[in-house]
Amino acid sequence: MQGKNYSLKLISHEVKHIKFDVISNKMPIGEIPFSFTSIMKKKNDDEISIDLVADIHADDYPIALSLDLNGVFYLKNWESLNMNKDIELKLVQILFPYLRAIITNVTALTDTTTITLPIINVLSLLDEQSN
């Protein structure tokens, strides 16, 4: 990201919505049916809000989970950067580990297998989902 003297800081993050259903207690096999989208909004001159909306769901998968994680970021002088995909990518990269941890913690509290999302290249995942 190019710009003059910009500053980026995560102010807060919170789970706005979570829904978790155990469909069966069988051990999941294969790839986790995971998808997510990001929604970025300007809150004011120096704050940006981003929602990571994640879903784990498939007909043959033993759990269903939907989660909306909101992060609020302080970004001084961000108007010189133009609000674009570069900023969104940075914000998602910062917030995504929190999303992974929440999914792991929620599933660890059940009698199903704990789900730990693999470390993901967020850029390629966003590119994949925009196609």
pLDDT tens string for the chain (131 positions)?
Answer: 454 566 789 999 999 999 999 887 777 667 889 998 999 998 887 899 999 999 998 888 888 999 999 999 998 766 656 556 778 888 999 999 999 999 999 988 877 778 888 887 777 766 665 65
CB distance 87 to 126 below 8 Å: no
How far is it, in rounded angstroms, from Cα 123 to Cα 121? 6
Nearest of 47, 131, 16, 40 to residue 89 by alpha carbon: 40
Q: How many CB atoms lie within 10 A of CB 39?
A: 12
How far is it, in rounded angstroms, from Cα 59 to Cα 39? 26
